[in-house]
């Protein structure tokens, strides 16, 4: 096995540059790291620009199997030294394998027109309005996929969905649940209204609880940031504003927890029909 040793190798420089948001945006590429995310990408049939791996990956049967599977799939795989891998990785302990992945962003209209093969469930979108914590956004993405959502929409001001912390927290949902990024709230409200979707917003203190709302029709669920909420444009356009009852002395719930409660209440209501 020939190892790439030079930090000036074009693929090494490319992968390292993707640690920065500006370069991710410029190139339309992002970085994924570790066996689990590479397995998820392979299983999802995600497009992979290039894979870089170090000898560490062969210390486990799972790592060996992954590299063999990527090579059988025709992926461009290159071996690098442990020192090179340490310079590419965004984690304290480099995982031994990374991949450069093209972004697959959509427009809101694309998500509104998504056909759901083998499913009769109504459209279900989750809108993250101004969510800035990477862990929260990644968890919302992962939960939305698990609850059967159709797509994820991020309003302007959200954290970069290709931030490495978001990608890790999403645990592979990045490859399977489409996302629209940087959407203007006023335009989004108009498009949802024109598409006939119900707009349900989590709002602290709303008189209607989330389990009292009818979440069976085609709808978009909105969860805002814990500091600023969903914003005036979406609040003004809301069909329903729903609260999550708080019995203990807390002001609000974590945004990802709130999103999970709403998504799974929608799933519960739809499965009950």
Q: What's the pLDDT tens digit per position in 71-102?
A: 999 999 999 999 999 999 999 999 999 999 99
pLDDT band at 220 (very low <50, low <70, confident <90, very high): very high
Query: Is a pLDDT exceeding 70 seen at residue 25?
Result: yes
Burial class (CB in 10 A: 0-12, 13-18, 19+), 257: middle
What is the structure's pLDDT at 273? 58
DSSP state string for 124-193: EEEEEES---HHHHHHHHHHHHHTT-SEEEEETTPPPTTSHHHHHHHTTGGGTS-EEEEE-HHHHHHHHH
Alpha-carbon distances of 91 from 97, 111, 179, 206, rounded to whole Å: 12, 33, 25, 41
Q: Which two tokens stand for residue 107?
A: 């427009």
Query: Is a pLDDT exceeding 90 seen at residue 223?
Result: yes
What is the structure's pLDDT at 114? 62
Contact in structure between 108 and 153 (CB atoms under 8 Å): yes
Q: Which two tokens stand for residue 258?
A: 């709130």
CA 157, 160, 161, 166 dihedral sign is: negative
What CA dihedral angle connects 259, 260, 265 and 271, to 10 degrees?
120
- Mean pLDDT over residues 140-155, rounded? 97
pLDDT band at 6 (very low <50, low <70, confident <90, very high): very high
The full set of domain ranges for the chain reads: 10-102, 105-272
Question: How big is the chain, counted in residues?
Answer: 273
Q: Which helix (H) or strand (E) holds 202?
A: strand 198-202
Query: Is a pLDDT exceeding 90 seen at residue 2?
Result: no
The DSSP letter of residue 20 is S
> Architecture of 10-102 per CATH?
2-Layer Sandwich (3.30)
Going by C-alpha positions, the residue among 126, 130, 137, 51 that lies closest to residue 96 is: 51
What is the structure's pLDDT at 138? 98
CATH class (in words) of the domain with range 105-272: alpha beta
Contact in structure between 176 and 145 (CB atoms under 8 Å): yes
What is the structure's pLDDT at 118? 43
Tell how far CA 16 is from the center of its chain: 21
Contact in structure between 209 and 245 (CB atoms under 8 Å): yes
Q: What is the pLDDT of residues 103-121, one digit of tens each?
A: 998 999 999 876 444 446 7
What is the structure's pLDDT at 115? 47
More confident residue, 207 or 165: 165
Rounded to whole angstroms, the Cα distance separating 177 from 146 reads 10
């Amino acid at each position: 096995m020939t190892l790439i040793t030079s930090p000036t190798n074009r693929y090494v420089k490319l992968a390292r540059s993707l640690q920065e948001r500006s370069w991710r945006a410029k190139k339309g590429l992002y970085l994924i790291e570790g066996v689990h995310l590479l397995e998820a990408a392979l299983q999802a049939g995600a497009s992979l620009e290039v894979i870089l791996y170090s000898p560490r990956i062969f210390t486990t049967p799972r790592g060996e199997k992954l590299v063999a599977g990527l090579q059988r799939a025709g992926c461009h795989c290159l071996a690098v030294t442990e020192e090179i891998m340490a310079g590419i990785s965004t984690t304290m302990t480099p995982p031994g394998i990374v991949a450069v992945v093209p972004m697959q962003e959509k427009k809101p209209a694309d998500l509104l027109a998504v056909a759901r093969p083998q499913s009769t469930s109504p459209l279900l979108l989750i809108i993250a309005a101004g969510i800035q914590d990477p862990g929260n956004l990644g968890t919302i993405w992962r939960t939305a996929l698990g609850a059967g959502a159709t797509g994820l929409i991020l309003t302007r001001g959200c954290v970069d969905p290709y931030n490495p912390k978001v990608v890790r927290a999403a645990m592979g949902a990045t490859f399977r649940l489409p996302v629209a990024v940087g959407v203007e709230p006023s335009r989004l409200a108009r498009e949802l209204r024109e598409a006939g979707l119900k707009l349900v917003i989590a709002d602290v203190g709303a008189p209607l609880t989330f389990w009292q709302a009818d979440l069976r029709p085609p709808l978009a669920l909105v969860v805002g940031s814990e500091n600023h909420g969903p914003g005036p444009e979406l609040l003004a356009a809301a069909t329903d504003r729903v609260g999550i009852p708080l019995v203990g002395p807390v002001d609000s719930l974590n945004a990802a927890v709130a999103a999970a409660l709403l998504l799974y209440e929608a799933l519960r209501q739809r499965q009950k029909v």
